[in-house]
Amino acid sequence: MAHYYTVRTKRRRLKKGRLLFLLAIFAFLLLLFFASRFLGALKGIRDESTWAQNLPAPEEGQALNILLYTVSPEEKLTSLSLAAVQAEDKIVRHLALPAETLLNPEEEVPVDLLQVFASTGRSGLLQAVERLLETQIHVFMEISEAALGDLASELEEEYAVSIPTIARENLPAYLNAGGLNAAEKTERRRQVLAAVLRQTLQGNMVKDFFSFRHTAPALQTNLSWREVLSLLRTFEDASYAAAVQVYPVPGTVVDRGGAQYWALDAESIPVLSVWLADGTIILPRNQITVEVLNGCGVAGIAGKVADMLRAERFHIVNVGNADNFDYEVTQVIYRDTNLQAAKEVAQFIPNPDLLKAENTESDVLVTVIIGKNYPSGE
């Protein structure tokens, strides 16, 4: 009898052990299934196309140039900007381009960035912007307005307060409202993205990992999800006002067959590429506004200097007398933070003092006061 009960006990233990073993295998397989789906969603943000994976990396010390653009639910290009990111210094130089920017302003049949994206997709758009701005692009980030709208509508209240109610209820209408210029469109997208990212990045690596999976469907890029998350975390504590420098894109609205396009000022394109590279702004001379003042008392000398600078293609906006005629040394004064503009003028003025006297209300970038040391015969 004792032998009978011993056998049954062993069988029960054996069955129980097998059950636990099978449950463990099932749990492991279930974990693998959900992990593969989880990681698959994250990996889905990366464009594995050959051209995308062959985009160059920036050289050491060089800014990371990111082409950032949004696409409507109809797959239409709605906004575009180029950001030069210096992660170590937490600086972003930001250039907003209208989607209607012409690539061939001198030709009769217009071709703009909208058409390029519609016909050639991401790779064609990237190459077109590289040629247009004479710079190299390392990363692209395509944001789906449809997916972004879903994220905006699901924002928790503490993160949603920074954007208008309409942005959560009808994001495409908010982002693409009539009458907005390229900078205003970019700013609206920044507001919504910032709100979404504040909810996504909460300062905890594990939480960020799971939250980013929820955000991932809105993004397509040539980076891995790890690289994107690392880049976002670099700037999560940075002040937007302190980190982001925005340069207005010079140009004019032109009409082609009843449709309006944006034509970049051709002379400004090299300026833009230099600014993106290192932050230096060297304006075209026709955009450097100058006033020339007589500070030495020699009759007509201010007019002569103004004519000379005008012949060098500077924009002379005022010619007159200084507050007195007792200036011993000629002065070239820059009225804003752009020292390069004053240096450009100073190279045509003999032996000047280069001074800084910022005046945000002034309509000139550079003031020239002719002193007694200015050669009267020149």
Kindly report, residue by residue over 353-368, the tens digit of the pLDDT.
988 886 656 678 899 9
pLDDT at residue 16, as a whole number:
58
Percent of the chain with pLDDT over 90: 40
How far is 168 from 172, CA to CA, in rounded Å? 10
Least confident range from 40-54, 78-92, 258-272, 351-365: namely 351-365
220 and 303 belong to one structural domain: no
250 and 161 belong to one structural domain: yes
Specify the pTM.
Answer: 0.71
Q: What is the mean pLDDT of residues 203-232?
A: 82
pLDDT at residue 356, as a whole number:
82
pLDDT for residue 59 is more than 70: yes
159 and 294 belong to one structural domain: no
Residue with the larger pLDDT of the pair 226 and 17? 226
295 and 271 belong to one structural domain: no
How far is 342 from 339, CA to CA, in rounded Å? 5
Domain ends where: 278, 297, 320? Answer: 278
194 and 140 belong to one structural domain: yes
220 and 205 belong to one structural domain: yes
Residue with the larger pLDDT of the pair 142 and 282? 142
For the record, the structure tokens of 54 come out as 């062959």
Domain ends where: 278, 299, 322? Answer: 278
Confidence of residue 35 (pLDDT cuts 50, 70, 90): very low
111 and 219 belong to one structural domain: yes
List the domain range (segments joined by +) for residue 360. Answer: 285-370
**Beta strand segments in the chain, E:** 64-71, 77-86, 91-97, 139-144, 219-221, 244-246, 251-256, 259-264, 289-294, 315-321, 331-334, 353-356, 366-370
Q: Residue 318, class by beta-carbon neighbours within 10 Å (0-12 exposed, 13-18 middle, 19+ buried)?
A: middle
340 and 263 belong to one structural domain: no
55 and 196 belong to one structural domain: yes
For the record, the structure tokens of 117 come out as 């994206």
Over the stretch 278-294, which tens digit does the pLDDT of each residue have? 877 777 788 888 999 99
Residue 14 included in any domain: no
The dihedral formed by the CA atoms of 14, 19, 25 and 26, expressed in degrees to the nearest 10? 170
Q: What is the mean pLDDT of residues 102-118?
A: 93
Question: Closest Cα partner for 238 from 186, 281, 278, 194?
Answer: 194
Q: What is the mean pLDDT of residues 219-223?
A: 94
56 and 193 belong to one structural domain: yes
How far is 328 from 374, CA to CA, in rounded Å? 9
Residue 103 included in any domain: yes
pLDDT at residue 107, as a whole number:
87
